[in-house]
Amino acid sequence: MAVGEPLIELHGVNKHFGALHVLRDIELTVGRGEVVVIIGPSGGGKSTLIRTINRLETVQSGSIVVDGRPLPAEGKELARLRAEVGMVFQSFNLFAHRTVVANVMLGQTKVRRRGKQDAERRALELLDRVGLADQAGKFPAQLSGGQQQRVAIARALAMDPQVMLFDEPTSALDPEMINEVLEVMRQLAQEGMTMVVVTHEMGFARSAANRVVFMADGRIVEDRPPEEFFSAPESERAKDFLSKIL
How many residues lie near ligand ADP (CB under 6 A)? 10
Q: Is residue 153 a contact point for ligand ADP (CB under 6 A)?
A: no
Give min distance, CB of 36 to ligand ADP, in A. 15
Give min distance, CB of 33 to ligand ADP, in A. 25
Alpha-carbon torsion, ordered 244, 205, 3, 127, to 10 deg: -150
| Residues 195, 106: Cα–Cα separation, whole Å | 23
Give min distance, CB of 173 to ligand ADP, in A. 17
| Residues 46, 21: Cα–Cα separation, whole Å | 13
Q: Which does 43 bind (CB under 5 to 8 A by kind): Mg ion, ligand ADP, none?
A: ligand ADP
Q: For residue 13, count CB atoms less than 10 angstroms from its CB and return exposed for 0-12, middle for 13-18, buried for 19 or more.
A: buried
| Residues 13, 219: Cα–Cα separation, whole Å | 10
Give min distance, CB of 45 to Mg ion, in A. 8
Residue 126 is which amino acid?
L
Stretch that binds ligand ADP, among 42-50, 127-135, 156-164, 179-187 (CB under 6 A): 42-50
Touching ligand ADP, residues 43-102 (CB under 6 A)? 43-48
The answer to whether the beta carbons of residues 159 and 83 sit under 8 Å apart is yes
| Residues 160, 157: Cα–Cα separation, whole Å | 5
CB closer to ligand ADP out of 48 and 199: 48
Q: Is residue 47 a contact point for Mg ion (CB under 5 A)?
A: yes
CB closer to ligand ADP out of 76 and 244: 244
Binding site for ligand ADP (CB under 6 A): 17, 20, 22, 42-48
